[in-house]
Structure 1
């Protein structure tokens, strides 16, 4: 949560940077892309590093870098320095997640692995959501230099993690090697992992498409106010948080593949039904859509780590970062389609993506080899 607060704050700072530093909309968009690219797309590189040479200190150092970068945005003297601060913050986020996901795997090993990872995932979702709620009042009260206060929660949590590192290291499995935790009986399954990555990419396209256009859809297609559209988006994200807490324990009990496949099968008809509903009923559908979309984020991270037991940092970097970043990049062509054919067309198109995801999910093995949970 303390890490992703910084990523969530980026979008909230853009209007202030536009008003007080005179940056253009295109420049603001470049900042968002820089944040996404540095925090998501390069995560697998940190995962490869942590698999070859585990470095638990990346967790507190990543949080500290994320907080330092975002705290300096408000006092950076020019656009280039602002961009570099955003990149520093994003790289801190990227450095934190693979190593942190490794230890989330260790401390929740056994029959409750997906449940444990769901708590880890909810923390990130919460941080991303409250980032704007923290950054906006600071800038309103203190001006852009108010971003300096963002270093405080990052420094505090970084200190806590540094203090906790010796205890966390005790959770590493006894048979784990220094190069990622592979036991002699475990083998990496690249075929299922690649298909899983494509499932995550399909899901991420749906997620970022909705996050980008739900508010506009309510305003321009359904004729509501902007505030009503933002409320609908908030309810969808809250539904996602609730779905994460439900999907994790269900995956431990019923199997990872079953829960992932069920979410994909539910998502397609829910999206189609949403495209036919009015504002009020559409909110109910959006809550269920959020639960089906966001709810399996933790499940797919666990599945990826089980398919690549010798590269769990890399697996987390791909399932939590790279493939999600691809989904975010997909929002750009979806916006172009919306400009030419309308937002309703985009929503209907999104309904077909989970069908592809469901077919791919169906081809996944019920359980990873040498894994005790499916």
Structure 2
């Protein structure tokens, strides 16, 4: 699981680096906010919305080789963005990089699900924290390369991708073994359940996909995604143009947001395994709106602190929603991962791009003001999800949700 988390970090560097590059690209070429948001759209279209396609293909025929191949494509695409002068060429370069990111995620999350065993939320949180760390490393790498050396230093951004390609290529045999073990375990479990059904006279049924619950969950993920990507896109510009700070201060706030999210992801997985996934999502969406208001009312220091708290409670739920999606669609793990990690998140990139003209007309604060009430939409979606204790057998529930007798029976 550790190697998968590291690989995830090296991959998502390329998603975190795109918003961090915007102040430098816009200043160097005189591009508008709308053009900058289109670059975020390019990254989102290719890295997120295409993921369900890769997930569907991997459900039919596993293709772990997509992981190292994706790294190479992601590295090449973003490393050249500092050498182009036209918005169209930059759009294409970012689009290509995003395709590499998209190729990695379904196979990576599938491998993480197999490696997690019974503690799905905790295991997936370790995998997801790697991605969150990668998002945070993206702005940091831009800060230490492009800020002192100029846009041509984007060539150095190829290094994480090349390292990730080597890491995942060397691990392909081990990942195949893990997949085989997980498949054998699932087969043995199904055989044991069938034997128990024969002894008790009860009929056993295969797990069923709950597309309605999955659709509601997708709505919650989309609402969270819009908040996430609008913050990612406009926070650096907001700090520079509204709060009148340096580019470094804006990048620092973005890093604080993402690092806090990585910490929250680790804690969130453990809390979800103990208290349940749905209650944690409810708490997250309830707290986001007040913190966003605090962010908009504060100066640079208070805004950075509030932004970090938003990351702590919002990004922490990324891994939980992936696990919930896989639980709702047990027969389509690749599609579930592709949608919860990709398509629903891609909605956020589309929303950020759509708000580019608004930022050009009214400034980068306007899109940030629009997203304040979106957590309430996510909250309504989560409240409509089935309760976990109505869906899961007592012995499989988080300990806090089990009846007293079940706690005694399971020790």
**TM-score class, shorter:** 0.7 to 0.9
Alignment of 1:53-92 (within 5 A): 53-74=61-82, 82-92=90-100
Q: Which residue of 1 aligns with 2:107?
A: 99
Q: Which residue of 1 aligns with 2:167?
A: 160
Q: For residues 35 and 210 of structure 1, do their structure 2 counterparts lie closer, same or farther at Cα, with a shift above 3 Å needed?
A: closer
TM-score normalized by the length of structure 2: 0.77
The offset of 1:16, in angstroms, is 6.2
- Higher alpha-carbon deviation: 139-148 or 347-356: 139-148
Tell me which of 296, 311, 316 is aligned to 2:337.
316
Tell me which of 120, 123, 128 is aligned to 1:113.
120
The offset of 1:156, in angstroms, is 3.0
TM-score normalized by the length of structure 1: 0.84
Asked which structure has the greater CA Rg, the reply is 2
CA displacement 1:168-195 (0-9 Å, x = unmatched): 12222235899xx9x9621111001000
Answer yes or no: is 1:270 the counterpart of 2:279.
Answer: no
CA displacement 1:63-118 (0-9 Å, x = unmatched): 122123223445679776654433222111001001101111110120x2212212
Alignment RMSD, CA only?
3.5
Alignment of 1:1-374 (within 5 A): 1-13=9-21, 24-25=31-32, 29-74=37-82, 82-110=90-118, 112-135=119-142, 137-138=144-145, 146-172=153-179, 173-174=182-183, 185-215=206-236, 217=238, 223=243, 225-226=245-246, 228-277=249-298, 279-336=300-357, 347=368, 349-367=370-388, 369=391, 372=396
Q: How many matched pairs?
A: 368
Instruction: Work out the CA distance in 1 between the residues paired with 2:296 and 2:150.
Output: 41
Is the Cα–Cα contact under 8 Å of residues 37 and 233 in structure 2 kept in the other structure? no
Could you say what secondary structure the match of 1:296 adopts? helix
Q: For residues 177 and 72 of structure 1, do their structure 2 counterparts lie closer, same or farther at Cα, with a shift above 3 Å needed?
A: farther
- Higher alpha-carbon deviation: 276-285 or 57-66: 276-285
- Higher alpha-carbon deviation: 90-99 or 259-268: 259-268
Q: For residues 238 and 256 of structure 1, do their structure 2 counterparts lie closer, same or farther at Cα, with a shift above 3 Å needed?
A: same
Greater share of residues in helix:
2
The offset of 1:290, in angstroms, is 1.6
Is the Cα–Cα contact under 8 Å of residues 20 and 251 in structure 2 kept in the other structure? no
Unaligned runs of 5+ residues in structure 1 are none
Instruction: Work out the CA distance in 2 between the residues paired with 1:17 and 1:139.
Output: 10
- Higher alpha-carbon deviation: 57-66 or 263-272: 263-272
Unaligned runs of 5+ residues in structure 2 are 1-8, 194-204, 399-411
The offset of 1:264, in angstroms, is 0.9
Q: For residues 167 and 133 of structure 1, do their structure 2 counterparts lie closer, same or farther at Cα, with a shift above 3 Å needed?
A: same
